[in-house]
Amino acid sequence: MTALPLTATCFRVPIGAAGVTFADLAPREPLELAQPAPSPLHVAPPSGGLAESPGGESGAVPVPPAVRQTALLFARAIVEGLGGRRSAAQFGDLVAQRVLSVLAARAHADRNRVPFTPASLRLQLVSPVALEVTLRLAREGRSTAAAFRLDRRRGRWRCTALVVGP
For every one of its 166 residues, what pLDDT tens digit does the chain have, with 9 covering 90 and above?
A: 444 343 334 444 444 434 333 333 333 343 333 333 333 323 333 333 333 334 434 444 678 999 999 999 999 999 999 999 998 889 989 999 999 999 999 999 999 999 999 999 999 999 999 999 999 999 999 999 999 999 999 999 999 999 999 8
Q: Which residues contact 155 (CB under 8 A, 6 or more apart)?
A: 26, 28, 30
Domain boundaries, the chain: 61-166
Q: What's the pLDDT at 63?
A: 86
Tell me which of 3.40.50.720, 3.30.750.24, 3.10.450.50, 3.90.1150.10 is the CATH number of domain 61-166: 3.10.450.50
| End-to-end CA gap in the chain | 16
Q: Is the pTM above the cut of 0.85?
A: no
